[in-house]
C-alpha cells in the first residue's frame, strides 16, 4: 500500500515537471533546423550498400613481407579494459590480437575488441572543424574554430558570470583529458561546471563505495573470479555486457566443477543459460532482495560476529531523499549512527516472504541465496552493473549489496568480493579522481579546504579562485542549459542527445536561442547536430593516453598512428583554447611529451605512500592496479596482509577510508522506484546492452561486421504477452511512456526472454533512442540518472506480413 502511495507522489512530481516543460516547446523550430542542416552535411558520406560479400574488397596495406609492429593498447569499448595488441603497418592499424601478457583477458578479447580498430577508418570520420553559419555546419580551419570557442567562452563569462559556461566530458576520456578539463575550468576559469558521462556510467557505484567504505575504487579485482566458489550475478547479463569476464567465469567453473554461477535477473539471457541457477524478480526490487538476504543471514545466525564487532559500524541516512525530478540538487547523506539492534529491527521488515510479495522472487530462493552467502566454507563474489547503478535508488542498492558481504565477513580477500562493474573505460574511478565531476578536484573534493589548497598550490592559482561549491550533476547541467543558467556548453566524446533520459527535453534545451554548443567528436552524431562548433577529435591510439579499468588497473597506450586531418585529442583542444584565453602558462607548451608532463603534474596530487606509477612503468608492462605503493600494485584493498596502506594494528582488516577504520552497514529502506507500472502504462521496459554494440553505437555501428550483427534496436516481448496482444514476431509495435513514443520491431523468443509484463530494448541505436521514453529521474545521492527502467504501454502498429 505504502509502495503505491509513494509511486504516485513520484508521478505527481513528474506531471508537474511535464506541465512546466509544455511552456518550453516554442524552441522546436531551431532544433529542427539544426537537425536538417546536419543531415544534409553528412548525406554525402552515407552509403546504403549492405553487402555481405564486400568485405573481400578490403585491400592490404602493402604487399611487403615485413610483418606489422604489434603495440599494446587497452580496449576502450567497455569498462573491462582488455589488453590488446594492435598491428601497425604502413602507418595504419591493420589487425588486432588479444595481448597474451595481459592479465585482464589473458590473450582473449571479444568481438568489439577484435573489430575495434576498424572504427578509426569510417569514411565519415570528422576530419575538419565546422562552424554553424546560416544554420549550416561549414568546414573551417581548426584554428578559426578554436578562436571562436575561446571568444565565446570569454564573452559568455563576461556577460553572464563564470558559472554560465560548462564542460560535459566523457567516460571515454583518458585521465589526462579529465585532468586538463578540471584544471582549465576549476583552476583557470573558476567554475565547478565540469561534468562527464562517468556520472551516467558509474556515479552510484562511486557513491556506494564512498558510503560503505569512505573511498571510491573497487575493493577486489578480476582475479577474484579465479578464487570464488560462488559467483552471484545481480541483474547483469554479463555474457553480453562484459564478455571477457564471463568467459573467465566459465573457465573457472570448468576448472573446478564445484563452482556455481548463480543469477538474480529480470529476464532470461545468454547469461541465464550458462548459469547454474537463475532467480527471476520484477525490475527495481533488487535492493529488497539484498535486504531479505541480510535478514535471513541474521535470523539464521550466519553472521560473522567477530568480523562485525571489529570492523563494522552502522549508519542511517537521511529519509525522503526524493527522485531528482523536481529538485536538481544532490542530497548529502548526513549519516547518523545506528546500533546492531536497530539494524536487526530494521531488517524485520524484509523477511523473505514480504520480499517475495514485493519482488516476485520466491522466498525459498531468497533463503537459498542467503545460505550460499552464509556458508562459511565457500568464498562468494557478487557482481553487478548498470541495472543496479542507473537507478534512482542506485546508491541504496549498492550499500545493501555491500551489507551482505559485511555481515558474513566475505570481503577484501581473494574470492570474497562485492564487485560493481561500470560500462566505460573511465568508469573505474580514475576519471572521478582526476576531477571530472562537479564536486571533485584531482585527488579531492571542492568542499575540502585542504584539497582546494593543494590544487591551488600545484596549479599556481590563488586558492580563492577554486570555488568551494559544487554546481550541477550531469542531468542538472542540461536542466541549467534549459533554464539559461548555462549559456555555453562544451561537450566532448559523448552523445548526450541520445544517452540522456527523456532526451527530447534536453534536445529542446540545446536548441534554444542564446545557447552556444561546442562538440568534440569522432563522427557526426545526434549531438553534433545541435552544435554551433564541431571540433574533430583524435581517438584511442591516435594520441597517447592513460586510463584505468574497473579493477583499478592503470593502462597506457602510445600514439601509434596519425589522427585524420585536423583532429587532435580533447586535452589538446582544451589546451589550445586555454592559450587563447591567456592561461597558456598553466599548460604544456609543446605537444611532444605533453601527456607525460600532465601525468607527472597529476602525480603530485598523490601523496606518499600512495603514488601513481611513472609513465615509463606503465609503458613497459601491462599496467598497474593503484594504489601503487613502492612500486607494488594493490589487488585487494583494506586487507592488512595484502594492502600496504592498511594498518596491521587494526587486525586482519583496516577500512581506512573511514576515520573510525570501519566499514559501514547502512540501513537502507526498500523504497519504490521513481516510476512504477499502472493501468495506463502496464509494462516494465528494461534497457541494456548487446554484445556487439557499445554506448550509443556511434563507434560500433560504424564497424560493418558489428553493425550487421545488430543493425537496429528491437523490442523483446514475452510470448504470453505477445499472444494476448496479438503481436507476432517482427510486427511493428509502438512503445509509449509518459515522455514519448518510439516504433520498432517486436521480437519474440529471440536473444533474451523477458518475463511476463516486461519488455527489453537495447539502448545502442541512435535512430531509435529508447532514452526518449525514460524518466529523467536520478539517484539524489549519486546523481546517476535512472536509465534502465520505466513504465510503458505497447501496441501493434503493423504486422510483419504487412497487414
Partner 1 sequence: MWLLLGASAVVAVVAFVVAGSRLAARRAAAPREITVSLVAFPDQPIVGEAQVFRTRTEMLSIGDPSGPRRAAHPRTLATYRVLRAYPGAPPRIPHGLTPGEFREGACKACHERGGFSVRFNAYVPVTPHPEMGACLQCHVGDAKLMAIPLPSTDPNSRCRQCHTAGGSRASDSTLDWKTMPWPSLMPVSVGRTPPPIPHDAPMRTNCLACHAGPSGVVEIRTSHPERADCRQCHLQASALPEPDASVARGAVIEFGGAP
To partner 1, the closest distance from the beta carbon of 20 in angstroms equals 22
Pick between residue 650 and residue 734 the one whose CB is nearest to partner 1: 734
Binding piece for partner 1, criterion CB under 8 A, among 88-96, 283-291, 641-649, 774-782: 88-96
To partner 1, the closest distance from the beta carbon of 704 in angstroms equals 5
Residue from 203, 215, 625, 744 in contact with partner 1 (CB under 8 A): 744
Element (H, E) at 684: strand 683-688
Site for partner 1 in 177-216 (CB under 8 A): none
The answer to whether the beta carbons of residues 392 and 777 sit under 8 Å apart is yes
The answer to whether the beta carbons of residues 425 and 171 sit under 8 Å apart is yes
To partner 1, the closest distance from the beta carbon of 390 in angstroms equals 22
The answer to whether the beta carbons of residues 638 and 656 sit under 8 Å apart is yes
How many residues of this chain bind partner 1 (CB under 8 A)?
Answer: 140
Q: Helices 198-213 & 474-483, crossing angle to 10 degrees?
A: 130
Residue from 742, 773, 777, 779 in contact with partner 1 (CB under 8 A): 742
The answer to whether the beta carbons of residues 233 and 225 sit under 8 Å apart is no
CA–CA distance, 780 with 174 (Å, rounded to integer): 27
Site string for partner 1, 475-514 (x = CB under 8 A): --------------------x-----------x-------
Residue from 523, 599, 664, 778 in contact with partner 1 (CB under 8 A): 523
Q: Helices 286-299 & 340-347, crossing angle to 10 degrees?
A: 120
Pick between residue 249 and residue 303 the one whose CB is nearest to partner 1: 249
CA–CA distance, 440 with 186 (Å, rounded to integer): 10
Pick between residue 694 and residue 752 the one whose CB is nearest to partner 1: 752
Omega before residue 609 within 30° of 0, cis? yes
Binding piece for partner 1, criterion CB under 8 A, among 307-315, 364-372, 459-467, 567-575: 567-575
To partner 1, the closest distance from the beta carbon of 172 in angstroms equals 16
Neighbours of 680 (CB within 10 A): 10
Residue from 25, 256, 305, 767 in contact with partner 1 (CB under 8 A): 767
The answer to whether the beta carbons of residues 407 and 304 sit under 8 Å apart is yes
* Residue 468 binds to partner 1 (criterion: CB under 8 A): no
Site for partner 1 in 606-645 (CB under 8 A): 619-620
Pick between residue 620 and residue 660 the one whose CB is nearest to partner 1: 620
Pick between residue 97 and residue 611 the one whose CB is nearest to partner 1: 97
* Residue 570 binds to partner 1 (criterion: CB under 8 A): no
CA–CA distance, 466 with 708 (Å, rounded to integer): 49
Pick between residue 7 and residue 554 the one whose CB is nearest to partner 1: 554
* Residue 344 binds to partner 1 (criterion: CB under 8 A): no
The answer to whether the beta carbons of residues 652 and 430 sit under 8 Å apart is no
Residue from 260, 354, 591, 650 in contact with partner 1 (CB under 8 A): 591
Pick between residue 231 and residue 274 the one whose CB is nearest to partner 1: 274
C-alpha distances out from residue 357 to 353, 368, 471, Å: 7, 17, 40
CA dihedral 710, 716, 722, 728 (to 10 degrees): 0
Site string for partner 1, 545-564 (x = CB under 8 A): -------------xxxxxxx
Site for partner 1 in 25-54 (CB under 8 A): 31-32, 35-36, 38-39, 41-42, 45-54
Pick between residue 66 and residue 450 the one whose CB is nearest to partner 1: 66
To partner 1, the closest distance from the beta carbon of 313 in angstroms equals 41
Site for partner 1 in 290-309 (CB under 8 A): none
Binding piece for partner 1, criterion CB under 8 A, among 152-160, 223-231, 416-424, 591-599: 591-599
Site for partner 1 in 641-670 (CB under 8 A): none
Binding piece for partner 1, criterion CB under 8 A, among 209-217, 398-406, 428-436, 569-577: 569-577
Site for partner 1 in 770-799 (CB under 8 A): 797-798
At 188, is the secondary structure helix, strand, or coil?
helix
Pick between residue 312 and residue 568 the one whose CB is nearest to partner 1: 568
Residue from 526, 598, 735, 777 in contact with partner 1 (CB under 8 A): 526
Residue from 293, 404, 706, 792 in contact with partner 1 (CB under 8 A): 706
Residue from 8, 300, 604, 708 in contact with partner 1 (CB under 8 A): 708
Closest CA to 674 of 390, 475, 483, 400: 390
To partner 1, the closest distance from the beta carbon of 490 in angstroms equals 16
Pick between residue 307 and residue 541 the one whose CB is nearest to partner 1: 541
* End-to-end Cα separation, the chain, in angstroms: 43
Binding piece for partner 1, criterion CB under 8 A, among 166-174, 181-189, 414-422, 711-719: 711-719
Q: Where are the alpha helices (DSSP H) in 629-737?
A: 704-709, 719-724
* Residue 698 binds to partner 1 (criterion: CB under 8 A): yes
Site for partner 1 in 260-289 (CB under 8 A): 269-270, 273-274
Residue from 11, 71, 297, 675 in contact with partner 1 (CB under 8 A): 71
* Residue 340 binds to partner 1 (criterion: CB under 8 A): no
Residues forming a β-bridge with 635: none
The answer to whether the beta carbons of residues 236 and 461 sit under 8 Å apart is no
* Residue 85 binds to partner 1 (criterion: CB under 8 A): yes
Binding piece for partner 1, criterion CB under 8 A, among 137-145, 305-313, 354-362, 422-430: 137-145
CA dihedral 432, 433, 438, 439 (to 10 degrees): 120
What backbone phi and psi angles, to 5 degrees, belong to 774? -75, 150
Pick between residue 441 and residue 595 the one whose CB is nearest to partner 1: 595
* Residue 433 binds to partner 1 (criterion: CB under 8 A): no
Positive or negative CA dihedral for 619, 622, 625, 629? Answer: negative
Tell me which long-range contacts 571-576 makes (C-beta under 8 A, separation of at least 24).
Answer: 571/174, 571/176, 571/177, 571/179, 571/180, 571/181, 571/543, 571/595, 571/598, 572/543, 573/146, 573/492, 573/520, 573/535, 573/537, 574/177, 574/180, 574/181, 574/184, 575/180, 576/146
* Residue 576 binds to partner 1 (criterion: CB under 8 A): yes
* Residue 702 binds to partner 1 (criterion: CB under 8 A): yes
Site for partner 1 in 528-547 (CB under 8 A): 528-529, 536, 538, 542, 544
Neighbours of 341 (CB within 10 A): 9
To partner 1, the closest distance from the beta carbon of 49 in angstroms equals 5
Spatial CB neighbours of 428, under 8 Å, sequence gap ≥ 6 = 79, 81, 202, 217, 218, 422, 548, 549, 550, 551, 552, 553
Residue from 691, 722, 761, 775 in contact with partner 1 (CB under 8 A): 691
* Residue 705 binds to partner 1 (criterion: CB under 8 A): yes
Pick between residue 65 and residue 630 the one whose CB is nearest to partner 1: 65
CA–CA distance, 390 with 124 (Å, rounded to integer): 32
Q: Helices 594-603 & 570-580, crossing angle to 10 degrees?
A: 90
Neighbours of 46 (CB within 10 A): 10
Going across the sheet that includes 553-557, the strands are 545-548, 553-557, 624-625
Widest pairwise Cα distance in the chain: 75
CA–CA distance, 287 with 36 (Å, rounded to integer): 45
To partner 1, the closest distance from the beta carbon of 124 in angstroms equals 5
* Residue 58 binds to partner 1 (criterion: CB under 8 A): yes
Site string for partner 1, 92-131 (x = CB under 8 A): x-xxxxx-x------xxxxx--xx--x--xxxx-------
Amino acid at each position: 500500500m505504502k509502495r503505491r502511495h509513494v509511486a504516485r507522489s513520484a508521478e505527481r512530481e513528474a506531471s508537474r515537471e511535464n506541465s512546466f516543460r509544455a511552456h518550453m516547446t516554442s524552441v522546436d523550430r531551431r532544433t529542427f533546423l539544426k537537425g536538417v542542416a546536419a543531415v544534409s552535411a553528412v548525406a554525402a558520406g552515407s552509403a546504403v550498400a549492405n553487402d555481405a560479400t564486400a568485405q573481400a574488397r578490403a585491400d592490404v596495406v602493402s604487399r611487403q613481407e615485413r610483418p606489422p609492429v604489434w603495440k599494446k593498447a587497452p580496449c576502450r569499448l567497455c569498462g573491462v579494459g582488455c589488453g590488446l595488441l594492435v598491428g601497425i603497418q604502413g602507418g595504419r592499424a591493420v589487425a588486432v590480437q588479444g595481448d597474451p601478457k595481459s592479465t585482464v583477458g589473458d590473450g582473449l578479447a571479444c568481438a568489439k575488441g577484435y573489430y575495434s580498430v576498424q572504427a578509426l577508418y569510417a569514411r565519415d570520420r570528422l576530419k575538419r572543424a565546422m562552424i554553424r553559419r546560416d544554420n549550416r555546419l561549414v568546414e573551417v580551419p581548426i584554428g578559426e574554430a578554436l578562436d571562436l570557442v575561446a571568444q565565446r567562452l570569454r564573452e559568455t563569462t563576461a556577460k553572464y558570470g563564470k558559472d554560465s559556461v560548462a564542460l560535459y566530458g566523457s567516460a571515454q576520456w583518458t585521465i589526462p583529458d579529465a585532468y586538463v578539463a578540471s584544471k582549465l575550468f576549476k583552476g583557470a576559469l573558476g567554475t565547478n561546471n565540469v561534468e562527464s558521462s562517468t556520472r551516467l556510467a558509474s556515479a552510484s557505484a562511486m557513491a556506494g563505495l564512498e558510503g560503505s567504505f569512505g573511498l571510491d575504487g573497487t575493493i577486489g579485482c578480476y582475479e577474484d573470479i579465479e578464487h570464488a566458489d560462488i559467483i552471484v550475478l545481480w541483474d547483469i547479463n554479463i555474457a553480453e555486457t562484459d564478455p571477457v569476464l564471463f568467459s573467465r567465469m566459465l573457465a573457472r567453473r570448468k576448472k573446478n566443477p564445484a563452482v556455481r554461477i548463480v543469477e538474480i535477473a529480470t529476464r532470461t539471457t545468454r547469461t541465464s543459460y550458462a548459469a547454474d541457477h537463475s532467480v527471476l524478480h520484477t525490475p527495481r526490487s533488487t535492493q529488497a532482495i539484498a535486504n531479505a538476504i541480510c535478514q535471513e543471514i541474521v535470523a539464521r545466525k550466519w553472521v560473522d560476529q567477530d568480523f562485525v564487532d571489529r570492523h563494522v559500524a552502522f549508519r542511517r541516512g537521511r529519509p525522503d531523499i526524493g527522485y531528482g525530478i523536481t529538485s536538481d540538487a544532490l542530497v548529502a547523506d548526513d549519516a547518523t549512527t545506528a546500533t546492531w539492534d536497530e539494524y536487526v529491527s530494521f531488517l524485520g521488515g524484509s523477511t523473505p516472504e514480504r520480499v517475495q510479495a514485493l519482488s516476485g522472487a520466491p522466498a525459498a530462493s531468497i533463503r537459498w541465496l542467503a545460505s550460499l552467502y552464509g556458508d562459511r566454507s565457500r568464498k562468494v563474489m557478487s557482481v553487478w552493473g548498470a541495472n543496479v547503478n542507473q537507478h534512482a535508488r542506485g546508491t541504496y542498492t549498492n550499500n545493501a549489496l555491500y551489507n551482505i558481504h559485511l555481515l558474513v565477513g566475505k570481503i577484501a580477500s581473494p574470492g570474497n568480493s562485492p564487485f560493481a562493474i561500470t560500462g566505460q573505460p573511465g568508469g573505474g574511478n580514475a576519471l572521478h579522481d582526476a576531477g571530472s565531476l562537479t564536486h571533485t578536484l584531482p585527488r579531492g573534493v571542492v568542499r575540502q579546504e585542504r584539497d582546494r589548497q593543494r590544487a591551488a598550490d600545484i596549479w599556481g592559482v590563488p586558492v580563492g579562485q577554486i570555488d568551494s561549491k559544487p554546481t550541477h550533476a550531469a542531468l542538472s547541467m542540461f536542466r541549467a542549459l534549459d533554464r539559461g543558467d548555462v549559456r555555453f556548453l562544451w561537450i566532448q566524446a559523448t552523445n548526450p542527445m541520445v544517452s540522456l533520459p527523456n532526451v527530447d527535453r534536453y534536445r529542446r534545451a540545446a536548441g534554444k536561442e542564446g545557447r552556444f554548443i561546442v562538440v568534440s567528436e569522432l563522427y557526426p552524431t545526434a549531438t553534433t547536430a545541435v552544435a554551433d562548433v564541431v571540433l574533430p577529435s583524435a581517438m584511442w591510439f591516435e594520441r597517447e593516453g592513460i586510463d584505468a579499468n574497473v579493477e583499478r588497473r592503470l593502462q597506457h597506450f602510445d600514439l601509434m598512428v596519425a589522427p585524420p586531418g585536423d583532429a587532435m585529442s580533447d586535452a589538446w583542444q582544451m589546451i589550445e583554447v586555454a592559450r587563447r584565453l591567456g592561461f597558456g602558462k598553466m599548460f604544456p607548451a609543446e605537444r611532444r611529451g605533453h601527456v607525460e608532463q600532465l601525468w607527472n603534474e597529476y602525480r603530485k596530487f598523490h601523496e606518499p605512500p600512495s603514488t601513481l606509477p611513472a609513465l615509463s612503468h606503465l609503458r613497459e608492462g601491462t599496467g598497474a592496479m593503484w594504489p601503487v605503493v613502492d612500486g607494488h600494485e594493490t589487488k585487494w584493498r583494506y586487507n592488512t596482509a595484502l594492502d600496504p596502506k592498511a594498518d596491521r594494528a587494526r587486525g586482519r582488516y583496516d577500512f581506512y577510508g573511514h576515520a573510525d577504520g570501519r566499514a559501514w552497514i547502512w540501513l537502507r529502506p526498500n523504497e519504490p522506484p521513481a516510476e512504477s507500472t499502472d493501468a495506463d502504462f502496464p509494462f516494465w521496459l528494461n534497457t541494456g546492452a548487446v554484445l556487439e554494440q557499445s554506448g550509443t553505437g556511434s563507434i560500433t555501428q560504424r564497424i560493418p561486421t558489428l553493425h550487421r550483427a545488430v543493425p537496429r534496436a528491437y523490442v523483446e516481448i514475452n510470448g504470453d504477452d505477445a499472444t494476448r496482444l496479438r503481436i507476432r514476431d517482427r510486427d511493428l509495435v509502438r512503445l509509449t511512456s509518459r515522455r514519448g513514443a518510439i516504433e520498432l520491431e517486436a521480437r519474440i523468443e529471440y536473444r533474451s526472454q523477458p518475463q511476463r509484463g516486461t519488455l527489453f530494448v537495447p539502448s545502442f541505436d541512435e535512430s531509435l533512442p529508447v532514452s526518449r521514453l525514460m524518466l529523467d529521474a536520478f539517484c539524489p545521492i549519486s546523481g546517476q540518472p535512472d536509465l534502465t527502467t520505466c513504465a510503458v504501454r505497447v501496441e501493434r502498429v503493423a504486422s510483419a506480413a504487412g497487414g
